[in-house]
Amino acid sequence: MLSKHFLFFILVCNTVCSCISYQTNSLLFIKGGNFLRGRNITNRPDEAPRHTVVVSDFYIQETLVTRKQYQNFVSDSMYKTSAEKKGYCMISLEGMKDWEWEKKMGANFLYPFGKQSNIPTRDDDPVVCVSYLDAKAYCEFYQMRLPTEAEWEYVARAGGNGRYPWGETESINDQFFSNFWQAESHTSSDSKDGYSYFSPTKAFPSNQWGMYDAIGNVWQFTNDYYDSQTYLLAYQTEKQSGIPVTNPKGPTSGTKVVARGGSWWCSEKTCKGHGLFYRGKIQKDSPFNNNGFRCVKDVNP
């Protein structure tokens, strides 16, 4: 039985995709195709070498799952998140040192900075302080799943080949297209993009295929286990067979999963993770206040 919060209706969009919508988070139909993944010039070996990947048709949520949507899920399912089980979420705040994180007792998806924090949160902010396991449970409850790393990058790129969906620079003429940290360090925030922490899921323009927060705001879980050799193995397969890999799903096991896109915490001065090349990795049960997710649905399940 589907939840009362999982109500479908069909829409038609004037883009490369049509949409299926439930509540306020539409599923975009993404026509399959191929794209170039990785880059050859990088100081992170897991981003190389560049190779071709083919993906089939699928649906993907146009926005990150919001706090309100996750609340509805918990209400319907009585699910208990990793942060609630552990009793804490790993959080970062303005004023902390770069790469410093605090094990904040009592912090969870409802209180992403702790119960005593006066930092405002909104219903349409992306849900954070959820782990990969929590994201997976949400998607499966609504008969969906997390995207593969390849699916996520294919739609995030929307046909582009650069570091960002809009090109190679963080901003254009001082206009920002995603939420990331602008200051020299985390001791203070310039907030030139309008936000110190996470932003509402439609605060910035979508990419060319209708995906909001393609990068930035929060890291996005994928369903792939992390392996530093994933790209190399795909490249070798393509070179030996002459055929690009199709619908790759990563290793069959591992200790960490891949997260992509970067977050509000990332900047050129710190992790440099915001963009379409950086491959983040995280333990499956680890909740952080800069990690979130969106779901995908198979066209022919």
Tell me the range of 1-5, 169-173, 198-202 where mean pLDDT is highest.
198-202
Residue 185: band (very low, low, confident or very high) from pLDDT cuts 50, 70, 90:
confident
82-86, 148-152, 180-184, 226-230: the lowest-pLDDT one: 180-184
Looking at residue 245, what is its pLDDT? 97
Looking at residue 15, what is its pLDDT? 37
32-298 has which fold? paralog of FGE (formylglycine-generating enzyme) (3.90.1580)
Residues 80-85: contacts with CB within 8 Å, 24+ apart? 81/108, 81/109, 81/129, 81/130, 81/131, 81/134, 81/287, 82/130, 82/131, 82/133, 82/134, 82/285, 82/286, 82/287, 83/107, 83/108, 83/109, 83/129, 83/130, 83/131, 83/134, 83/287, 84/108
Looking at residue 20, what is its pLDDT? 46
pTM score: 0.91
Residue 301: band (very low, low, confident or very high) from pLDDT cuts 50, 70, 90:
low
Looking at residue 171, what is its pLDDT? 84
Question: Across 199-273, where does the E strand assignment appear?
Answer: 219-225, 245-246, 256-260
Looking at residue 166, what is its pLDDT? 92
Looking at residue 24, what is its pLDDT? 62
**Across-strand partners of 30?**
58
Looking at residue 4, what is its pLDDT? 41
Higher pLDDT, 151 or 173: 151
Region 204-231: mean pLDDT is 97
Residue 187: band (very low, low, confident or very high) from pLDDT cuts 50, 70, 90:
confident
Map out the domains of the chain as residue ranges.
Answer: 32-298
- The yes-or-no verdict on residue 16 having pLDDT over 60 is no
Looking at residue 188, what is its pLDDT? 83
Mean pLDDT of the chain: 91
Percent of the chain surpassing pLDDT 90 = 80
From CA 71, how far away is CA 126, in angstroms rounded?
Answer: 11
